[in-house]
Amino acid sequence: MTNHPHHQDGAAAEVTRNSPGHMAPLKICILGAGMAGLTSALALAKAGLTDIEVYEFASDLGFVGAGIQMAPNMARVLDRLGVWGPIAKEAVVLNETSIREGATNEELGHVDLRYIVKAYGYEHMVGHRATLASGIYDGCKRYPDAIKFHFGTQVQDVIVDGDKPSFKALSRSDPTAPPKEITCDVLLGADGIKSVTRSAIMRFLKADDEIVDTGQASYRIVLTREQMSSDPELLDLIEGDKVIRWIGEKRHIIAYPVSSKQIYNISTAQPDTNFAAAPTATYTTKGSKPAMLGVYGDYCDMIQRMLNLVPDGEVCEWRLRVHAPLPTWVVNTTALVGDACHPTLPHLAQGAAQAIEDAAVLGVVLSRIPDTKRDTIHKALKIYEKVRKERAETLVALAAESGKNLHLGAGAAKEERDKQFAALRSGGGTTVPDRWADAEVQKNIYGFDCQKAAEEMFEKEFGSV
């Protein structure tokens, strides 16, 4: 459990104070119950909105993946939304990060992370994705009169240019049932990288909606404490309070303990060479253990022992996709949230945190509007875009840059990078080539209060409401 005080400061208090109870209820439909959709529903309900419907394709909240980094900018929002305590209870505090040469296990750079709690009010923690999602979902369930979930629902025919946004909802459990026509005041597309909402917006704008293949893929691996317990060197890893990145040409491995140090989470990034046979409709496939061992075959013996513990048939490989920055996230009273508008490479560990910031800002702006006219809603959503779009897209670009730094092969650029790492080790350097661990980058990410920024911009655009 974290030992920081729970921050219920001005921004948080304001969030719950401005309930639009004097207006006709604003009907808000959210497409997708991932991190973006769940947190949007929670932030809106906590801010006093009472008519929120969430439509999700999956039949339940079955979250794939495992470990997730939970930085202070994420923790701050979740604390204000009243759900951080239970999530933090199972999480592991990261006190340090070590960047190592994959082939030798030699440490290139080391950064002490203990200063983060003093600087930003929250430790940098890591946890299990399912714990994070279920913690936010539990928060939503505190508002049963405000939030309705529709699981097992396929959404199609999204219309963003009508008088009000609309879509068709089909029940997956009863394919014979006619689709329901749903109309709402606000439509939030939190429907991920393959967003149908984004496609509808881009069609309306006659703009390109092409998803970019990054040429990178990722193995997602979890090992249990029991699996690692017979190897003292591996047991040290799961018992540590550190995140380790082993880097090499065109690929790296990042790993840290989660779930009260009962699980060791391992995520990789490498060239996407195994997807020739994978269907284009999915970005994940069963991976081959021999292929995975081959990709990291020149890494040190400890890594070989660790990867060899992965059971055959449990290797999962994800294709990493992004898309170019969009011309806008908002059309009329429809807005995009999370991966639907800013999917990112995982090298800054900010994908979920940025989706959660989106949700927090939507809670601020939509709870403060003076009326439910279409132009008023649109103006509020444009404030959301102003607060969020440039920041999120800057971090997407920074994550890509960091990945390039980590994946350098032999040559002048790698020599320069390793000089920067060496300067860090000797105490003479400040720039960290792994941008995630750079103090200045952390300041820009962790020190930004998205809710406060939204409140200030709302007041500037609308005046005191």
Within a domain: 423: no
Residues 153 and 245 in one domain: no
Within a domain: 283: yes
Sheet with 125-128: strands ordered across = 67-70, 125-128, 92-93
Provide the b/e sequence for 251-272 (b: ≥16 CB within 10 Å): bbbbbbbbbeeebbbbbbbbeb
The widest CA-to-CA distance across the chain, in whole angstroms, is 68
Q: Which two tokens stand for residue 441?
A: 């980058």
Residues 224 and 193 in one domain: no
Residues 337 and 280 in one domain: no
Of 295, 322, 349, the residue that ends a domain is 322
Residues 183 and 297 in one domain: no
Residues of the chain with pLDDT under 50: 1-21, 276-282
Query: pLDDT tens across 242-267, in order?
Result: 999 999 999 999 999 998 899 999 99
Residues 176 and 255 in one domain: no
Residue type, 352: A
Of 258, 287, 322, the residue that ends a domain is 322
Q: Is 415 exposed, middle or buried (0-12, 13-18, 19+ CB in 10 A)?
A: exposed
Residues contacting residue 258 through CB under 8 Å, at least 6 positions apart: 66, 67, 68, 91, 92, 126, 127, 128, 264, 265
Q: What is the pLDDT of residue 19?
A: 45
Domain count, the chain: 2
Residues 380 and 266 in one domain: no
Q: What is the pLDDT of residue 288?
A: 85
User: Domain holding 85: CATH number?
Assistant: 3.50.50.60
Within a domain: 456: yes
Query: pLDDT tens across 26-65, in order?
Result: 999 999 999 999 999 999 999 999 999 999 999 888 765 6
Residues 155 and 248 in one domain: no
Q: What is the pLDDT of residue 17?
A: 38
Strand partners, 320: 216
Within a domain: 414: no
Q: Taking the CB of residue 11, how many other CB atoms lie within 10 A of it?
A: 21
What is the distance between the alpha carbons of residues 34 and 302, in angstroms, rounded to a whole number? Answer: 35
Within a domain: 422: no
The rounded radius of gyration (Å) of the Cα atoms in the chain is 22
Residue 371 phi/psi, 5-degree rounding, is -155, 175
Within a domain: 429: no
Residues 446 and 399 in one domain: yes
Domain containing 250: what range? 213-322
Residues 60 and 201 in one domain: yes
Is this model's pTM higher than 0.85 or not? yes
